[in-house]
Amino acid sequence: MGRAMALGLAEAGAKLAVVARSREADDLRRDVAALGSELLYLQADLLHKEQRAGLVDRVLQHYGELHILVNNAGVNRDAVIWKMTEQQWDEALDINLKGYFNYIRAVAPLMKEQGSGKIVNVTSINGMRGKFGQANYTAAKAGIIGLTKTVARELAKSNVNCNAVAPGLIETDMVKQAPDDVRQKALAEIVLGRMGLPEEVAYVVTFLCTEKSRHVTGEVIKVDGGQYI
């Protein structure tokens, strides 16, 4: 989904700074360039404080400005609650929730000072309803929703919009790694009868990052083909 979001934003005219653990950025940089945009790639693992320190400053040094933040980090550390370890809990919360907090806290003073900004947090429909075997993941994704609504209130006077997008079952690498019976059970919930595409999430994220969404804030928009119904 991160790749699809990057391409969607580049197509809309944004210059990009992408933070990821992988070193494989050449293909994405080439595709972004083909859309007439630019990509600054920053390698970091959100679990390591020393790696994420100063990332926003590096973006400002490169571009001189920052107007959009999209938080899209996510990991699974699945286990039923009676078998879940503290490490599994901590890693899921640190990346899926605390990582979002760290980036929002870093950009908030800048957006307040300039009097504008767009923040989009990717959560999940499972943060709205719970999911067997994912107490840590769903707690983090539910926390993102509360964080989104609070930040929307706190930054509203500075003309900063903060919203969340809640995907359902989307064709991503994370979903492909899930057991087949788990995927089939989730697929049966989707009233449109198919998994979503990363691009379909990216369309909504891109909209929320443009001035077309200037009167939308504190919202959680589901992109799930009716899976939550």
pLDDT value of residue 24 = 64
Bridge partner residues of 70 (DSSP): 120
Q: 59 near 17, Cβ under 8 Å?
A: yes
Assess whether pLDDT exceeds 70 at residue 192. Answer: yes
User: Any idea of the CA torsion for 198, 201, 204, 210, to the nearest 10 degrees?
Assistant: -50
Establish how many alpha carbons lie within 13 A of residue 32's alpha carbon, considering only the half-sphere containing its beta carbon: 24
Q: How wide is the angle at C-alpha 86 spanned by C-alphas 80 and 91, nearest 5°?
A: 95
Residue 205 above 90 pLDDT?
Answer: yes
Domain definitions of the chain by residue range: 2-166+204-218
Tens-place pLDDT, residues 124-139:
999 999 899 999 999 9
Please pick, among 63, 100, 137, 228, the residue that the annotation labels catalytic: 137
Catalytic residue list contains 63: no
In a 3-state reduction of DSSP, which class is residue 42? strand
Among the listed residues 164, 166, 160, 107, the one whose alpha carbon sits nearest the alpha carbon of residue 131: 166
Please state which CATH number belongs to domain 2-166+204-218: 3.40.50.720
Task: Band the pLDDT of 48: cuts 50, 70, 90.
Answer: low
Write the pLDDT tens digit of every residue in 136-188. Answer: 999 999 999 999 999 999 999 999 999 999 999 998 877 777 778 888 888 99
Which of 71, 89, 73 is closest to 81 using CA atoms?
89
Average pLDDT over residues 36-44: 90
Residues facing residue 163 across a β-bridge: 120
What is the rounded CA–CA span in Å between residue 5 and residue 152?
Answer: 21
**How many whole angstroms separate alpha carbon 210 and alpha carbon 50?**
32
Structure tokens at 222: 């589901």
Residue type present at position 189: E
* CB 215, CB 189: distance < 8 Å: no
